[in-house]
Structure 1
Amino acid sequence: MLSLQEYISIKLHKVDLKLTGYIKAKLEPFNIAPEQNLIMMLLWEQDGLTQSQIAAKLNKDKTNIARMASNLEQKGFITRQACPHDKRSIKLFVTEKGEDLGKKVIPVAEQFNELVSGGFTKKELEELDRLLTKISYNLD
């Protein structure tokens, strides 16, 4: 029988808690939660994604994305608009306030990534990505 410390799922959970706690504290001054920031990161990369596209990219429930988008809109970081060719689809667009947020938050995200990947070689990071992807596939 495995000890509690030998379960890979426990180790991953502990790391996830540390990652989430760290980035949550770093994002708090900007009035944005880590999951909301994931949406913003996608929009800073490609403005005008639909809520469905974001849900698929983040592997999140569409209802959850809609709720977070509403919250981001209330904060003034995005606007939501119905697609002209499909009124059921909602596109998200970054506002000027959202662009200003990006200028502050993207460097924080980059520093966080550097901290997390510190000490790893490029080959080790590629292997870690491969292994995490394998775990995800195992769960599917």
Structure 2
Amino acid sequence: MKISFNDYISIMIHQTDLTLTSYIKAKLAPLNIAPEQNLILLLLWEKDGLSQNEIAKRLNKDKTNIARMLSNLEKKELISRHINETDGRSFNVYLTEKGIKLGEQVYPITEEFNRTVCSGITSEELQVVNEVLLKMQQNVEMSVK
């Protein structure tokens, strides 16, 4: 028996991702920040000075995309890159004063976004969602090896 379009879990996840991304994109637009740029900034607000490689790994993105996004954030004067003192081939990324200040505007948006997305969902349900999504990621990773 063939599975119909709407029965594929990947379709539901993709449609949910599009909905969530569209929502946060609209919320961040007045601040001239793209959702993926926001992810980098969230990492740096949590721990400033991460290497480009650490950022790429944490966001599961290739280094070329990260370098491009960092370049855009640098042009907006939100971050600066400095050569790593122990590995001259690597860069560490630091928030500028403007980048730090932007966090004061962005954090309330991301907190509200998270509350909206998780509204009506119990902490137990969220834990199950996290566990299931992690299993899906691991299933794909295992099938690629």
TM-score category (smaller protein): over 0.9
How does 1:100-115 map onto structure 2 within 5 Å? 100-115=101-116
Question: Equivalents in 2 of 1:112, 1:26: separation in Å?
Answer: 9
Q: Which residue of 1 aligns with 2:129?
A: 128
Q: How does 1:56-71 map to 2 (within 5 A)?
A: 56-71=57-72
Deviation at 1:69, TM superposition (A): 0.5
CA-to-partner distance for each residue in 1:61-101, whole Å, 9 max, x for gaps?
01111111111010010010001121111000001100111
Q: Which residue of 1 aligns with 2:7?
A: 6
The residue that corresponds to 1:73 in the other structure is: 74
TM-score by length of 1: 0.98
Pairing 1:87–2:88 present:
yes
Segment of structure 1 superposing worse, 41-50 or 9-18 = 9-18
DSSP 3-state at the match of 2:112: helix
The Cα of 1:125 is off from its aligned counterpart by: 0.5
Task: Structure 2: state its 5+ residue gaps.
Answer: none
Write the deviation string for residues 32-52 of structure 1: whole angstroms up to 9, x where unpaired: 100000000000000000000
Percent identity at matched positions?
54
Structure 1 distance, partners of 2:79, 2:23, is 25
What is the identity, as a one-letter code, of the residue corresponding to 2:69?
M
RMSD of aligned C-alpha atoms?
0.6
For residues 67 and 4 of structure 2, the distance between their equivalents in structure 1, rounded to whole angstroms, comes to: 41
* CA displacement at 1:130 relative to structure 2: 0.2
The letter for the 2-side match of 1:41 is L
State the number of aligned residues: 140
In structure 2, distance between residues paired with 1:94 and 1:131 = 34
Structure 1 segments of 4+ aligned residues over 2 angstroms from their partners: none
Amino acid at match of 2:78: F
Q: TM-score, normalised by structure 2?
A: 0.95
Q: Please state how far the C-alpha of 1:119 moved relative to its aligned partner.
A: 0.6
Deviation of 1:3 (Å)? 1.2
Aligned residue in 1 for 2:99: 98
The secondary structure found in structure 2 opposite 1:119 is coil
